[in-house]
Structure 1
Amino acid sequence: MSSPTSPGPLHLRGVLLDGTAEGERVGELWVTAEGRISVDPVPDATTVADGAWILPGLVDAHCHVGIGPDGPVDLEEAREQGHTDAASGALLLRDCGSPIDTRPLDDDPRMPEIVRAGRHLARPKRYIRGLPIEADSPEELPALVAEQARSNPWVKLVGDWIEREEGDLAPLWPEDVLKAAMDAAHAEGARVTAHVFGEDALPGLIGAGIDGIEHGTGLDDTTIAMMVEHGTVLVPTLINVENFPAFADAAGEKFPRYGTHMRELHARASATVASAIEAGVPVFAGTDAGGGIVHGRIVDEIAALAQVGLGPARALEAACGAARDWLRRPGLTDGAAADLVVVDRDPRVDTDALRTPSLVLRAGVRLS
């Protein structure tokens, strides 16, 4: 890809999608020289789209800028990860845990906007080495959560992981500690989400008032109903769940219970997510890039969500307008940053339209 350019004021005309299933208007908008959306004409603007479908930048609601196949990466590799996501149209990322501070990358015009969750919080030897902040005792969790919440809008817990003596997935935190941790985060204005593969950690996390569940492959009718009652959202990372058999194989003969469990979770994952969708759990698109998935695959996740019950229009919503609302970021609104994706056919009908955008703008800077 060539270096990004800002060609000055721009004009776009076509079907303006706010990224939701119903939101549509035929019209036009402008991009100012400062990279902001204007609903009023801007003099001397160059028309760069006419008769296209124009939507806000896509959202990857679960990714990890700063993690590679072997653990933490340096800042320059993290930069390349962000560039790859942005080029795919994912211009807003919720970074669900990174061991490095990527804020120095925020001035890079090719980087997507990042909503951060700080570092994972876990117990010793209960997550991937080198990634989390570890609590020596569970009682330390509320203070650690409060510390992360003071500098990030989200906090990321490891809700379950393999427990070596039991040889299977097990919760990391007692329920009373979880309630105190949620209260600590919410007092700072932050929200909390948790990595959860299995069944046992879910009731305590949801009952404590957690805001989101990542993966959620262990959900059942009871915990799905709890999510609906509490307004808890789900980011199922379906394309990474496809790695579960490989995770089971890697466990080998050392942890046979874990291997069997992961294969069972994988086998019913699509039905589990479909049940959550049918029950009314809010579902958003996240790839888990950096956590076993390469960056730039947001369209694959949208397609996977469409197949398990959302359909293409609602799957787009889960990665665009509704996801932006959930993350408290604007869409096609006057004065917002011109983070735009332009495609040549209706992505609410055919998600593959998103694979070959004719134009991607990040704050008015042309990336493709």
Structure 2
Amino acid sequence: MNALHLSGPVLADDDRVLDEAWVVDGALRLSDPGAAAEGARTVSGWVVPGLVDVHCHVGLGPMGAVSKEEAEEQARIDRDLGTLLVRDAGSPQDTAWIHERHDLPRLIRSGKHLAYRKRYLRYFADELDDVTQLPEAVAREAQRGDGWVKIVADWIDRSMGREADLTPLWPPEVLVDAVAAAHENGARITAHTFAHEAVGPLLDAGVDGLEHGTGMDADHIAEAASRGIAVTTTLLQVANFAGFAAQAEPKYPVFAARMRAMYARRYAHVMALHEAGVPLLMGSDAGGTIEHGTLPEELAENARAGLSPADVLGYATWRARDYLGVDGISEGASADVVVYDADPRTDVGVYARPAAVILRGRLC
């Protein structure tokens, strides 16, 4: 059968709630399609655009690149819990083959993480030997990816001994050239950043997004809001900061103290971003150290921080899709939707138990 009847409410965006919609030959129809939908199977519940995980690593495991089979399983796990669009936030594996797999989530690739040698997790990134190589590497990854490039902007500098702490990887002038290289090659650029010291140069360079952003102060937040620079909050990852601090304390007490402080203010930080009007993105940071299929937990964490369930829904669906330039629930769009048995505008717990997942018009 190539037709479905979606018996709503159909939550199309912040302002549009439809009573029903149809899926015909994989596409959404928002008005009665007549004979084309005769005999359609009815799926009832609260219908929303497929969830968007804007910081996810398909193809990455704890020791770097995984097999194609494991990457496929990662994507399938995410899909079955309603994640139907992924912006990859860096992967050592070339996952372009996922574009040909219509049973797996849509993928927007950032190519490989770009970092400086010995200043990031081993096996995860393309580690450059000279900081001046960054603009060239950004141009290369922009050409390989799907309109995004991911750089690592700060990490612990262990060469400082007991004074070791998070420090920026790149000189400000190199960041300016790197951002320009991304834009000249038709890509946007986002940056991993924990440290306060790295944020200012990133904003000055014109970066398009910040991942984590835990070191942002009030001035950084105001500037990001005024320029519409999105921040991916990754609260599941930030929840690990206390453990990182405990592990580092004996050798790196300065670093440990900073990580502990950022952990303590993690919820207040998210609310400061939201209240200032910074566009927020929802990202599980799955792959590497966090399991796939955890976006529902990430959404629940953002609600614990103080975001309303309605805002969590918007950030995880239509607002993220608008940001990435991918259609949600609109006439003729691909039918990538999730159905819940309760209203996600009031209950964030529903994300862990989708009643139906429909990808490209097919029930998964």
TM-score range, shorter chain: over 0.9
TM-score (norm 2): 0.94
Match of 1:255, as an amino acid? Answer: Y
SS across alignment from 2:121: coil
SS across alignment from 1:288: coil
Contact in 2 for aligned 1:159/1:194 (Cα 8 Å)? yes
Match of 1:332 among 304, 329, 332: 329
Task: Identify the residue that residue 31 of structure 1 maps to in structure 2.
Answer: 23
Task: Identify the residue that residue 73 of structure 1 maps to in structure 2.
Answer: 66
Task: Identify the residue that residue 122 of structure 1 maps to in structure 2.
Answer: 115
Task: Tell me how far apart the structure 2 counterparts of residues 266 and 159 of structure 1 sit (CA, whole Å).
Answer: 19
Task: Identify the residue that residue 312 of structure 1 maps to in structure 2.
Answer: 309
Task: Identify the residue that residue 53 of structure 2 maps to in structure 1.
Answer: 60
TM-score (norm 1): 0.93
Q: What per-residue deviation string (whole Å, max 9, x for no partner) do you get for residues 62-118 of structure 1?
A: 010011123221111011000000001000011100000112233333311111110
Relative to structure 1, the CA distance from residue 308 to residue 21 in structure 2 (aligned partners, 3 Å threshold; closer, same or farther) is farther
Q: What per-residue deviation string (whole Å, max 9, x for no partner) do you get for residues 187-221 of structure 1?
A: 22211111111111000001111111111111111
- Listed as ranges, the gaps of 5+ residues in structure 1 are 1-6
Task: Tell me how far apart the structure 2 counterparts of residues 282 and 145 of structure 1 sit (CA, whole Å).
Answer: 24
Contact in 2 for aligned 1:11/1:45 (Cα 8 Å)? no
SS across alignment from 2:102: coil
- How far off its partner does 1:125 sit? 0.3
SS across alignment from 2:150: strand
Match of 2:76 among 61, 83, 86: 83
Contact in 2 for aligned 1:93/1:114 (Cα 8 Å)? yes
Task: Determine which structure has the larger helix proportion and give its number.
Answer: 2
- How far off its partner does 1:264 sit? 1.2
1:9 pairs with 2:3 = yes
Task: Identify the residue that residue 181 of structure 1 maps to in structure 2.
Answer: 178
Q: Percent identity?
A: 44
Q: What per-residue deviation string (whole Å, max 9, x for no partner) do you get for residues 252-311 of structure 1?
A: 522222122111111111111211111111111111001421111112111222232321
Contact in 1 for aligned 2:22/2:37 (Cα 8 Å)? no
Task: Identify the residue that residue 220 of structure 1 maps to in structure 2.
Answer: 217
Task: Tell me how far apart the structure 2 counterparts of residues 344 and 144 of structure 1 sit (CA, whole Å).
Answer: 46
1:162 pairs with 2:153 = no
Task: Tell me how far apart the structure 2 counterparts of residues 70 and 145 of structure 1 sit (CA, whole Å).
Answer: 23
Contact in 2 for aligned 1:63/1:291 (Cα 8 Å)? no
Task: Tell me how far apart the structure 2 counterparts of residues 97 and 104 of structure 1 sit (CA, whole Å).
Answer: 15
SS across alignment from 2:335: coil
Match of 1:197 among 186, 194, 197: 194
Q: What per-residue deviation string (whole Å, max 9, x for no partner) do you get for residues 163-210 of structure 1?
A: 112311000011111111111111222111111111110000011111
Q: What per-residue deviation string (whole Å, max 9, x for no partner) do you get for residues 304-334 of structure 1?
A: 2223232100111010000000010001122
Match of 1:365, as an amino acid? Answer: R
Relative to structure 1, the CA distance from residue 354 to residue 346 in structure 2 (aligned partners, 3 Å threshold; closer, same or farther) is same
- Deviates further, 172-181 or 129-138: 129-138
Task: Tell me how far apart the structure 2 counterparts of residues 32 and 230 of structure 1 sit (CA, whole Å).
Answer: 40
Task: Tell me how far apart the structure 2 counterparts of residues 29 and 224 of structure 1 sit (CA, whole Å).
Answer: 39
Contact in 1 for aligned 2:139/2:181 (Cα 8 Å)? yes
Contact in 2 for aligned 1:149/1:188 (Cα 8 Å)? yes
Task: Identify the residue that residue 290 of structure 2 maps to in structure 1.
Answer: 293
- How far off its partner does 1:249 sit? 2.8
Task: Identify the residue that residue 362 of structure 1 maps to in structure 2.
Answer: 359
Contact in 1 for aligned 2:24/2:37 (Cα 8 Å)? no
Task: Tell me how far apart the structure 1 counterparts of residues 63 and 248 of structure 2 sit (CA, whole Å).
Answer: 17
Task: Tell me how far apart the structure 2 counterparts of residues 185 and 273 of structure 1 sit (CA, whole Å).
Answer: 28
Match of 1:12, as an amino acid? Answer: L
SS across alignment from 1:127: coil
- How far off its partner does 1:38 sit? 2.4
Match of 1:273, as an amino acid? Answer: V
Task: Tell me how far apart the structure 1 counterparts of residues 54 and 306 of structure 2 sit (CA, whole Å).
Answer: 19
Q: How many residues align?
A: 357
Task: Identify the residue that residue 345 of structure 1 maps to in structure 2.
Answer: 342
Task: Tell me how far apart the structure 2 counterparts of residues 22 and 12 of structure 1 sit (CA, whole Å).
Answer: 19
Task: Identify the residue that residue 137 of structure 2 maps to in structure 1.
Answer: 144
- Deviates further, 299-308 or 282-291: 299-308
Match of 2:355, as an amino acid? Answer: S
Match of 1:16, as an amino acid? Answer: V
Match of 2:22, as an amino acid? Answer: W
- How far off its partner does 1:243 sit? 0.8
SS across alignment from 2:191: strand
Match of 1:191, as an amino acid? Answer: R
- How far off its partner does 1:360 sit? 0.4
- Deviates further, 66-75 or 152-161: 66-75
Task: Identify the residue that residue 22 of structure 1 maps to in structure 2.
Answer: 15
